[in-house]
């Protein structure tokens, strides 16, 4: 009797066999209802075979095989298999996480057809600059796999390069997958894509879509009706029958890395997908990740450069550092920056004060006894939010009211220490009572709707001063913005995290890119106590290649990625001793002795050692050979699976971690 091999969304590295008398090869890739435990689940049929490793008498009967939609194709399974092997994630989890929620329900909700969209305003196509034309000329859309880095400063017209290549691929009758790091970036890009291709079907796929819309869009991509799919990282697995090109915009962005569940890099999966599908992939950025830059330098990726802004009137902003060592700062703001803002106000231009810390102040403290507002559940401070009068943990979400007096000694004179966006906003309002100040951070902007409203206000000239976090740094055109002031950049310069400078450089280049996009020249003022730091010198010169070369040299000498390959085993438990003891067991497994190219470090508490009442430890595995690490990991994982652990202990492996 035919046996179905079924992938289920379970944390187990195996398939599940069921009997199904009428099943045949045509059912491979279809969804099936199967009994599991006391209930029923939706699984995906991976194979239909004649025999099972299990005694056939013990197998249960599968339920209904669902005829719709069409079976998932082989290339989808091949990609899932890669991700499962590479990231040590159970195959069933990988397969099922790629499906929209509606297709995972036993009783699918009623679906109505989507509303027809009103046609977007058609957008004209500008004549290409010489640099754009040269970049496009280097990509062959019908010549099999190729990976290219499109390295272009902000405003250099990368999007135009994307659109021309999209056009070529559509003309071949093929589909395009365009990945962006954040939902917030999709509306503008979506409008631009729709405007350029008004007769083509464009769908978006991201986590803020309602379930029904996401399912509809996914089905349109899978069915081949959608010609352009615009999505965030979760879209990378969407099966598309005629995929002809993948574009990853802002490829350096950490949002492409999934930090929970299956921990994967959508950018890296996209490159593998392009290779499997034998199609080109384009990775775009003004500040590429050092991994991608090293790939381009090493000749594994092609490189397309856009060095100038597309609009010849729009010059790159001038970047200056303000040496704050001998300046008196008021609420963290120096007199030169204040004067520069005042000038912009007088000229009716916009300023942006960038501070990557939301809330009013990072901590509330009692100077009498030393009490500080700590989260009860994490190794972190509670951040003071005056806007809604709360103390809030930015890690676990715990919150409290603001005490009137010190909970320890009763002192009524407790103070906020340090500053966040709310405090800077409040103070600037005092300095410039007539200015219209708009704060843009995750507290002020919680949904895509709010974000669109904020963008409208900025574009409509309804704000004179923007105070914002990195939310404002990415991919938006603010034509009247001519000044960017940067506060609090120094913290990242000497951080323990060796990726911090890379992130800081990217953020500051991005935020600098917001200024002077139209005909108004832009200026960027960075306050720092380390004006001679090479990172700032590279920023002032807007010399990403120089910065990257210096960073890569340091990493090569230190043996860090991309010159070494890493995986981290993390364990969390109610007590740190238990987590560390588990990691020590994992570090002593016999299998380790068989892999002499892999090195294990000592188990240590994580930087944020306590999160939501759990103590967390980690153990780093490293190798100079990716294949050596990849051979080791599945064997190590299987051995760890066999370790005894307390019922409250949880562990996971993360491959290519971004944060340690």
Binding positions for ligand ADP, rule: CB under 6 A:
126-129, 132, 152, 154-160, 310-311, 477
Residue 555 interacting partner from ligand ADP, Zn ion, none (CB closer than 5 to 8 Å by kind) = none
Residue 353 tokens read as: 């004060």
- By CB under 5 A, how many residues form the interface with Zn ion? 15
Site for Zn ion contains 45 (CB under 5 A): no
SS3 616: strand
Site for Zn ion contains 609 (CB under 5 A): no
User: Which single residue is written with the structure tokens 């013990």?
Assistant: 58
Site for Zn ion contains 364 (CB under 5 A): no
Residue 156 interacting partner from Zn ion, ligand ADP, none (CB closer than 5 to 8 Å by kind) = ligand ADP
Q: Report the residue number, 65 or 380, with the smaller CB distance to Zn ion.
A: 380
Closest CA to 3 of 24, 31, 29: 24
Please give the residues from 375 up to 394 whose contact with Zn ion meets the rule CB under 5 A: 375, 377-378, 393
Rounded CA-CA distance 553/550 in Å is 5
For residue 601, what are the contacts with CB-CB under 8 A and spacing of at least 6? 619, 620, 621, 622
Rounded CA-CA distance 41/33 in Å is 6
Residue 157 interacting partner from ligand ADP, Zn ion, none (CB closer than 5 to 8 Å by kind) = ligand ADP
Residue 154 interacting partner from Zn ion, ligand ADP, none (CB closer than 5 to 8 Å by kind) = ligand ADP
Interface with Zn ion (CB under 5 A), residue from 125, 408, 412, 597? 408
Closest CA to 397 of 421, 414, 380: 380
Residue 541 interacting partner from Zn ion, ligand ADP, none (CB closer than 5 to 8 Å by kind) = none
Rounded CA-CA distance 459/103 in Å is 40
Residue 126 interacting partner from ligand ADP, Zn ion, none (CB closer than 5 to 8 Å by kind) = ligand ADP
User: Shortest approach of Zn ion to residue 332 CB, angstroms?
Assistant: 25
Instruction: Render 18-45 in DSSP notation, one character per residue.
Output: EE-TT--GGGTT-EEEEEETTEEEEEEE
The sign of the dihedral angle between the CA atoms of 311, 313, 314, 320 is: positive
For residue 119, what are the contacts with CB-CB under 8 A and spacing of at least 6? 198
Interface with Zn ion (CB under 5 A), residue from 56, 119, 172, 369? 369
Please list, residue by residue across 114-140, b when 16 or more beta carbons sit within 10 angstroms of its beta carbon and e when fewer do. Answer: eeeeeebeeeeeeebbebbeebbeebe
Alpha helices by DSSP H, listed for 149-289, are: 158-171, 186-196, 211-223, 266-277
Residue 128 interacting partner from ligand ADP, Zn ion, none (CB closer than 5 to 8 Å by kind) = ligand ADP
Site for Zn ion contains 417 (CB under 5 A): no
Residue 393 interacting partner from ligand ADP, Zn ion, none (CB closer than 5 to 8 Å by kind) = Zn ion
User: Shortest approach of ligand ADP to residue 159 CB, angstroms?
Assistant: 3
Q: Report the residue number, 407 or 534, with the smaller CB distance to Zn ion.
A: 407
Q: Report the residue number, 20 or 154, with the smaller CB distance to ligand ADP.
A: 154
User: Shortest approach of ligand ADP to residue 311 CB, angstroms?
Assistant: 5
User: Shortest approach of ligand ADP to residue 265 CB, angstroms?
Assistant: 22
Interacting residues with Zn ion (CB under 5 A): 366, 368-369, 371, 375, 377-378, 393, 395-396, 398, 406, 408-409, 411
């Amino acid at each position: 009797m035919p046996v179905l091999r079924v992938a289920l969304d379970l944390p187990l590295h195996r398939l599940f066999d069921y009997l199904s008398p009428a099943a045949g090869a045509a059912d491979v890739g279809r969804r099936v209802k199967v009994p599991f435990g006391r209930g029923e689940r939706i699984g995906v049929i991976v194979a239909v075979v004649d025999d099972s490793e299990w005694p056939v008498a013990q197998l249960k009967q599968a339920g209904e095989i669902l005829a719709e939609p069409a079976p998932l194709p082989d290339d989808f399974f091949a990609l899932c298999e890669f991700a499962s092997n590479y990231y040590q994630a159970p195959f069933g989890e990988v397969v099922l996480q790629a499906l929209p929620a509606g297709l995972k329900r036993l009783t699918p909700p009623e679906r109505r057809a989507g509303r027809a969209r009103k046609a977007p305003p058609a957008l004209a196509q500008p004549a290409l600059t010489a640099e754009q034309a040269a970049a496009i000329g280097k990509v062959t859309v019908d010549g099999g796999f190729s990976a290219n880095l499109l390295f272009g400063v902000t405003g250099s017209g990368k999007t135009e390069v994307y659109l021309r290549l999209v056009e070529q691929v559509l003309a071949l009758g093929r589909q395009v997958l365009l990945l962006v790091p954040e939902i917030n970036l999709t509306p503008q890009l979506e409008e631009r894509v729709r405007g350029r291709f008004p007769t083509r079907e464009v769908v978006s796929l991201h986590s803020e879509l309602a379930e029904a819309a996401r399912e509809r869009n996914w089905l349109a991509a899978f069915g081949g009706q959608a010609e352009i799919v615009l999505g965030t990282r979760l879209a990378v697995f969407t099966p598309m029958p005629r995929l002809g090109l993948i574009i990853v915009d802002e490829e350096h962005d950490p949002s492409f890395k999934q930090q929970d569940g299956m921990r994967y890099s959508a950018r890296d999966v996209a490159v593998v997908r392009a290779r499997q599908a034998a199609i080109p992939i384009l990775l775009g950025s003004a500040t590429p990740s050092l991994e991608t830059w090293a790939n381009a330098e090493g000749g594994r990726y092609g490189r397309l450069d856009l060095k100038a802004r597309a609009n010849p009137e729009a010059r790159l902003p001038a970047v200056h550092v303000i040496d704050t060592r001998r300046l008196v700062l008021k609420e963290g703001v120096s007199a030169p920056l204040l004067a520069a803002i005042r000038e912009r106000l007088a000229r009716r231009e916009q300023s942006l004060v960038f501070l990557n810390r939301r809330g009013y102040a990072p901590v509330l403290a009692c100077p009498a006894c030393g009490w500080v507002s700590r989260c009860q559940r994490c190794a972190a401070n509670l951040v003071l939010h005056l806007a809604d009068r709360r103390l809030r943990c930015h890690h676990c979400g715990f919150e409290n009211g603001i005490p009137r007096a010190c909970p320890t000694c009763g002192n009524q004179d407790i103070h906020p220490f340090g500053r966040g966006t709310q405090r800077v906003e409040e103070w600037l309002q005092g300095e410039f009572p007539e200015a219209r100040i708009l704060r843009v951070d995750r507290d002020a902007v919680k949904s895509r709707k709010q974000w669109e409203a904020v963008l409208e206000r900025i574009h409509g000239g309804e704000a004179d001063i923007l105070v914002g976090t990195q939310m404002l740094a990415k991919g938006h055109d603010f034509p009247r913005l001519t000044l960017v002031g940067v506060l609090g950049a120094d913290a990242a310069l000497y951080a323990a995290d060796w990726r911090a400078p890379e992130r800081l450089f990217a953020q500051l280049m991005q935020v600098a890119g917001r200024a002077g996009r139209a005909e108004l020249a832009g200026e960027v003022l960075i306050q720092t106590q380390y004006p001679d730091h090479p990172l700032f010198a590279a920023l002032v010169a807007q010399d990403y290649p120089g910065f990257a070369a210096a960073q890569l040299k340091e990493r090569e000498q230190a043996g860090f990625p991309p010159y070494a390959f890493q995986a981290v085993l993390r364990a969390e438990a109610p007590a740190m001793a238990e987590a560390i003891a588990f990691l020590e067991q994992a570090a002593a497994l016999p299998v380790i002795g068989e892999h002499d190219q892999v090195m294990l470090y000592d188990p240590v508490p994580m930087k944020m050692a306590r999160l939501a009442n759990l103590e967390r430890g980690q153990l780093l595995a490293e190798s100079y050979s990716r294949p050596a690490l990849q051979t080791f990991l599945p064997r190590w994982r299987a051995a760890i699976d066999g370790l005894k652990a307390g019922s409250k202990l949880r562990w996971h492996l993360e491959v290519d971690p971004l944060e340690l």
